[in-house]
């Protein structure tokens, strides 16, 4: 079994890498559509146009996993095939946006709901509990549980896209989260789900060989949506297949992008009184880049080195969460440990964020940044 897992892992990584390499080498022919030429946007940190269709490589890598699974008669390939088919609507919406820059955020959100609904129907990937009294009674009702599942999957899908700001950040984060989920699945003897997680890791590693640290290709919306959908569905399948598993342990494992998204909504809509969808430059990863990495390395440091350090620093968050979630999942008090860890994460995140936004004088830097953006616009 271990040998088969190794072969599939290698096949997925190799196909993803070769597909991305081909896209990089042929960009002179498709660059008119695939290159990200927006170098001045509020959330842009690259200096030259780069292909943003790395999601094609990730998708082809996962497809290779299904094909190899069929060839070796693996029990995983039917589930993987259904999951990949379910991902098509949101992946297609993302890829079309990458190529045309003409798919509205609302349509992409609808596509993520459609993909979540397909997975719920095809794989019974549906949340029926969140380990919260009274709320569980409500979610156990089929229509409510279905809608809540679609909302959760769409949320994670878009959350990964939000943190996709630096070379390797989103892909590395999702790979770490999938690795954590694979560890929990192994503990529960769920080999099928463990393989699904590892295939996702393999596809992302193949992509990262060209994305991190030099940024030869970007995930784009298609890749970010596919990665977010894959990790969301793996998390939901874990809970659906194992009623005794703490929901809070699984949430802890995938916490970072979820927290970043919810915090951004609160910061924009409530704290700053601006639109939640309006782009700005004060996301957590952007502050790490500007307030820590750029100051540490200096302006003369190569851009790729700044990207690499930013991603590596932030990877410590999902890595720690995945380790603690695996420890919690193996304990009788999994929910208590996980909720306590969530609280600690929130405090650390808030302390770190606040420290980066304050000037030595005590003035909130995000206010001046927002004011400058308002003036420019």
Binding-site sequence positions for Mg(2+): 161, 221
Q: What is the DSSP letter of 329?
A: H
Token pair, residue 50, equals 């780069």
The answer to whether residues 201 and 181 touch, using CB atoms and an 8 Å cutoff, is no
Do 119 and 86 touch, CB atoms closer than 8 A? yes
**304/49 Cα distance (integer angstroms):** 14
Contact 169, 163 (CB under 8 A): yes
Nearest to 322 by CA among 268, 264, 252, 374: 252
If one counts every other C-beta atom within 10 angstroms of the C-beta of residue 268, the result is: 19
Task: Determine whether 229 is exposed, middle or buried from the number of CB atoms within 10 Å of its CB (0-12, 13-18, 19+).
Answer: buried
Query: DSSP label at 36?
Result: E
Q: How far apart are CA 283 and CA 287, in angstroms?
A: 6
Angle between helices 2-25 and 54-71 (to 10 degrees): 150
3-class DSSP state for residue 342?
Answer: helix
Tell which residue, 330, 88, 96, has the closest CA to residue 226.
88
Cα torsion through 120, 121, 122, 127, rounded to 10: 20
Rounded distance between C-alpha atoms, residue 30 and residue 351, angstroms: 44
3-state helix, strand, coil in the chain (%, to 5): 75, 0, 25
Tell me if residue 358 falls in helix, strand or coil: strand
Q: For residue 358, what are the β-bridge partners?
A: 364
Residues in the annotated binding site: 161, 221
Given a contact cutoff of 8 angstroms between Cβ atoms, the answer to whether 127 and 156 are in contact is no
Contact 226, 56 (CB under 8 A): no
């Amino acid at each position: 079994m271990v040998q088969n897992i190794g072969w599939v892992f290698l096949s997925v990584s190799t196909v993803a890498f070769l597909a991305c390499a081909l896209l990089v080498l042929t960009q002179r022919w498709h660059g008119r559509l695939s290159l990200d030429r927006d170098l001045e946007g509020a959330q842009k940190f690259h200096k030259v146009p780069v292909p943003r269709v790395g999601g094609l490589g990730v998708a082809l890598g996962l497809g290779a996993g299904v094909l190899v699974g069929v060839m070796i008669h693996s029990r995983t390939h039917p589930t993987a095939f259904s999951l990949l088919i379910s991902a098509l609507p949101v992946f297609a919406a993302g890829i079309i946006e990458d190529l045309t820059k003409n798919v509205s955020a609302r349509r992409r959100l609808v596509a993520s709901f459609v993909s979540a609904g397909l997975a719920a129907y095809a794989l019974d990937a549906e949340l029926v509990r969140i380990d919260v009294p009274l709320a569980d009674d409500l979610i156990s009702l089929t229509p409510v549980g279905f809608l809540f599942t679609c909302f959760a999957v769409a949320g994670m899908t878009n959350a990964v896209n939000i943190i996709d700001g630096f070379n390797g950040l989103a892909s590395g984060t999702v790979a770490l989260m999938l690795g954590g989920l694979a560890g929990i699945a192994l503990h529960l003897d769920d080999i099928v789900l463990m393989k699904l997680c590892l295939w996702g890791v393999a596809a992302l590693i193949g992509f990262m060989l060209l994305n991190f640290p030099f940024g030869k290709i970007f995930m784009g919306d298609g890749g970010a949506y596919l990665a977010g959908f894959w990790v969301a569905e793996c998390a939901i399948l874990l809970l659906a297949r194992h009623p005794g598993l703490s929901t809070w342990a699984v949430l802890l494992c995938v916490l970072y992008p979820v927290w970043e998204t919810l915090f951004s909504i609160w910061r924009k809509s409530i704290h700053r009184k601006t639109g939640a969808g309006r782009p700005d430059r004060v996301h957590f990863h952007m502050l790490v880049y500007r307030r820590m990495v750029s100051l540490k390395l200096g302006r003369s440091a190569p851009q790729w080195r700044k990207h690499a350090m930013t991603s590596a620093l932030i990877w410590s968050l999902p890595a720690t969460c995945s380790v603690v979630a695996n420890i919690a999942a193996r304990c009788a008090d999994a929910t208590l440990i996980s909720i306590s860890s969530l609280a600690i994460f929130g405090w650390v995140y808030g302390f770190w964020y606040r420290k980066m936004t304050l000037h030595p004088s005590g003035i909130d830097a995000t206010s001046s940044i927002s004011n400058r953006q308002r003036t420019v616009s």
